[in-house]
Structure 1
Amino acid sequence: MIEGLELWSEFNVAMVGATAALAGLVIVASSVNIAEIVKTRSLTARLAAGIAALVLAIVGSGIGLVPNMSPAWFGILLGFAAVGAGFFQVQATRAIFADHDPAAQAKLAKSIFGFLPIAAYVAGAVVTTVGHPAGLFLVAAGCILAIVTGIVVSWVALVEVLR
């Protein structure tokens, strides 16, 4: 086990509960206008990436609660989860840059914003794989960034669809 991982158990429990509730709320809120959301490929892809980031936070925090997890397995599992979420962000980035709507602005910023939690999780995965406890702070940053990006992307999708 990574030295000090047990000290993060309360954080991980809180993050699993918070992100699971938030992901559920995002899905329910978006389902209200899903017919309009799916008309815009970039909104659909960004919303999927936002939900994937929240799922990454759930999975990452859940993995942190597994007893007697070795540093290598903790990092490897985090890495796989981050790659899975990264797939959705890549698809969102492609959709953002394919959007030819003149109102679509700040394409690069929108794309980079979505990669922030994934990058933090990947960095945390690498650092924890080698057994360094500093990786846990990167994982925590990734979790918080996932919540922030999930909320912002969801809000944007829900507002944009009504314009």
Structure 2
Amino acid sequence: MSEALEPWSEFNVAMVGATAALAGLLIVAMSVNIGAIMSSKTLPARAAASIATLVLAIVVTGLALAPGQPLWAYGIEALVAAAVAAAFEVHAVRAIFQDDQHRGTARELAAKSAAGLLPIVAYLVGSVLLLAGVVPAGLMVLGIATILAIASAIVLAWVVLVEVLR
């Protein structure tokens, strides 16, 4: 672990544990309703994006705890992890915009999409700041991104589980 990451170790340990527990609970909750989720046009993609966002938080905070890792390597790892999660989120956004059954205004569709995109963008920004050498700001943005990822995943998973009952 680099010297700059040392002050973040307790935060990262707490986030890895809490996020992993939350991801497990959400997977169990979704598996109970998997038939209804899979019969929807948008819910599978939204559920996958929610889980991918939590996995992103686990990966980024977990990798921050790796001993002997240079900051540039951590920045690349966080950037790659965010790009992978972004693919899931883009798929969910496309599903939302292509859903003929629950069409809304452009503003409503954008609002549905923003909750999932916000933490991904924050991770991308934090990673780029880290790679650019703006270490304190990059680490702070990655910490904020982790909190946003957890909040976003909870909200999106809740939406999926509520939509199953409609």
TM-score (norm 1): 0.95
**CA offsets per residue over residues 84-105 of structure 1, 9 Å max, x none?**
0000001001100010114656
Measure, in 2, the Cα distance between the counterparts of 1:162 and 1:109.
21
**CA offsets per residue over residues 128-152 of structure 1, 9 Å max, x none?**
1133221111001110011001100
Counterpart of 2:116? 114
1:80 aligns with 2:83: no
Which of 66-75 and 151-160 deviates more?
66-75
How is 1:2-151 mapped onto 2 (pairs within 5 angstroms)? 3-102=3-102, 106-131=108-133, 132-151=135-154
Give percent identity, aligned residues only.
55
What SS is found at the alignment partner of 2:42?
helix
Residues 16, 62 of structure 1: 8 Å contact kept: yes
Superposition misfits of 4+ residues, deviation over 4 angstroms? none
Q: 1:153 to 1:36 in 2, by over 3 A?
A: same
Residues 48, 88 of structure 1: 8 Å contact kept: yes
Residues 125, 138 of structure 2: 8 Å contact kept: yes
Measure, in 2, the Cα distance between the counterparts of 1:21 and 1:82.
20
RMSD: 1.3
> Where does structure 2 lack aligned partners over 5 or more consecutive residues?
none
Which of 36-45 and 83-92 deviates more?
36-45
Q: CA deviation at 1:110?
A: 1.1
Measure, in 1, the Cα distance between the counterparts of 2:33 and 2:154.
17
Which of 2-11 and 41-50 deviates more?
2-11
**CA offsets per residue over residues 62-93 of structure 1, 9 Å max, x none?**
11101122121111000000000000001001
Measure, in 1, the Cα distance between the counterparts of 2:132 and 2:102.
47
Measure, in 2, the Cα distance between the counterparts of 1:134 and 1:149.
22
* Structure 2 residue identity aligned to 1:125: S
**CA offsets per residue over residues 6-40 of structure 1, 9 Å max, x none?**
01000000000000000000000011111001111
